[in-house]
Amino acid sequence: MHKYYDKEYITAMRRWEFYNELDEIVCVVDMDSHQVVYMNRRACEVYKINDAACQEKRCYELLAGSASPCAACSNKKLKQGYFLEDVCYNPVVKRKLSVKETMIEENGRRYKFTLAVDMGPAGWQEEVGEDNEAMINEGLRISLSAPTPEMSINILLEYLGQSLNSERVYIFEEIEGGAFKNTYEWCADGVVPQKENLQNVPFSVVSLWYQRFQKGKSVIIKNLENIREKEPDIYEYLEPQKIRSLIVSPLMDEKEIIGFYGVDNPPEKFLYHITTMFEIWGHFFISLLRRRNLVRRLEEMCFQDQLTGIGNRHAMHDYITAMNFEKSIGIVYCDVMGLKRTNDTRGHKAGDQLLLRACGCLKRSFDDYALFRVGGDEFLALCSGIREEELIQRTEKLRKDMKISDAAMALGCVWRPDSKEDMDYLIKQADQRMYEEKRALYAKMEGNYEN
């Protein structure tokens, strides 16, 4: 018995034993910890594991061969008293399954109960690599069911990794300066993720690959040791990742290479065979990346001020909702002086330049905090966790920068040791203090111009 299992788990497992002699596959998983609570005899046979060993595993490790929870996990869709039904291909056991899932709550725990009928390999070859069409269709089906392009990409990477029995699947995208960034990654259970270490790969490392990419061809490395002397740059990048073999293919958008994707350490028998379907996957990844970029652009339009690039009121409300109200809060409310006069006398282009200079001052003083444009000539800095002394110092720095940049702003500041007071009230207090300073500044200005 697993050392972390308590009496409730033992009782639960005994209850599930009713299903032990069924010919259908039965699995029970704790939905919060992902621990496998029970697998019946048939499930142990299909997954080639004994009952004791299954209790040492998380569901994604045992049932999906993954190092992290499945991208297409059904947990959020499950409700007591309702069954989710699906017919799917499981790339781990190489079988087509008719699946029914529901949620059962007992003693404060939530269990996912899964009953699956083995429909056999009919229509699905025992080796997935020999049936490209079936593999592609199933991959598209499960990935397109996801609600966002980001989730679709992660689901598809996971499915490819499982189907090809590889250790890692990934996408690299070109970034500014011609370097490459590992943006997506799936790793098999026990494989160390590499994405965080591959955020700025120089073009020189993969320049030889590009010669093949430009011809629309994939790169196949059957044995990494074979390139130690011929391609030392790429060898030095791959060897520390424990890569023995790989396939990488270009991601081409309108004949322009925008990155590449690949699989590490697939079975040798798949190395050359799966290249025939990589072109199809590449087109689909490009489609998903386009959709992702469109969604990001729409989000920017909804939550980002188009002139200054900082957040707008929608972004401010979202930020406040997600704040940690136990932390201190500093608020700086800013009003750009003379914007109306600048627009009237010098034109709106000059007014935009004034706003950009003012916003630049705010960014230089509060760049590591949340900044928003909350009106035509008003900016707001919300500084969660800031000390009062630091707020004063940064505000003084802002005042000095405004003089140098010819971007006068009236400021109103509020600080509290925590954020438990109503944030709307605190922002109004900062606004009122800003207004008092603005009125005093205008009183001193020659001509008493109205804003």
Asked if 193 contacts 67 with a C-beta cutoff of 8 angstroms, the reply is yes
Within 347-387, residue ranges assigned H as helices are 348-366
CATH fold label, 129-301: Beta-Lactamase (3.30.450)
Which CATH architecture best describes the domain 313-444? 2-Layer Sandwich (3.30)
The total number of residues shown for the chain amounts to 451
Tell me which residue of 366, 303, 360 sits closest to 336, measured CA to CA.
Answer: 360
The answer to whether the pTM exceeds 0.85 is no
Long-range interactions of 42-45: CB distance < 8 A, separation 24+: 42/118
Cα angle value 421/422/427 (rounded, 5°): 105
Eight-state DSSP code of residue 193? P
Q: Dihedral through CA 178, CA 181, CA 183, CA 188, nearest 10?
A: 140
Question: Residue 196, SS3?
Answer: helix
- Tokens representing 134 are 């079936």
pLDDT of residue 447: 56
pLDDT of residue 13: 53
Eight-state DSSP code of residue 239? G
pLDDT of residue 131: 60
pLDDT of residue 424: 93
Specify burial of residue 442 (Cβ count, 10 A radius: 0-12, 13-18, 19+). middle
Phi, psi of 84 (to 5 degrees): -90, 135
Sequence-separated (6 or more) residues with CB below 8 Å from residue 118 = 24, 25, 42, 46, 95, 96, 97
As a whole number of angstroms, the distance between CA 428 and CA 407 comes to: 23
Taking 70 as the pLDDT cut, the residues of the chain under it are 1-16, 18, 51-52, 120-134, 272-273, 445-451
- Sheet containing 25-30, strands listed edge to edge, beginning at the edge strand earlier in sequence: 36-39, 25-30, 109-118, 95-106, 84-90
Tell me if domain 7-124 and domain 313-444 are identical in fold. no
pLDDT of residue 124: 38
CA atoms within 13 A on the CB side of 115: 13
Domain chopping of the chain, boundaries? 7-124, 129-301, 313-444
- Strands 219-221, 84-90: pairing is unpaired
pLDDT of residue 373: 96
In terms of phi and psi (left: phi > 0; alpha: psi -120 to 50; beta: otherwise), the region of 70 is beta
Looking at domain 7-124, its CATH class is: alpha beta
Burial 193-228 (b: 16+ CB within 10 A, else e): ebbeebeebeeebbeebeeebeeeebbbbeebeebe
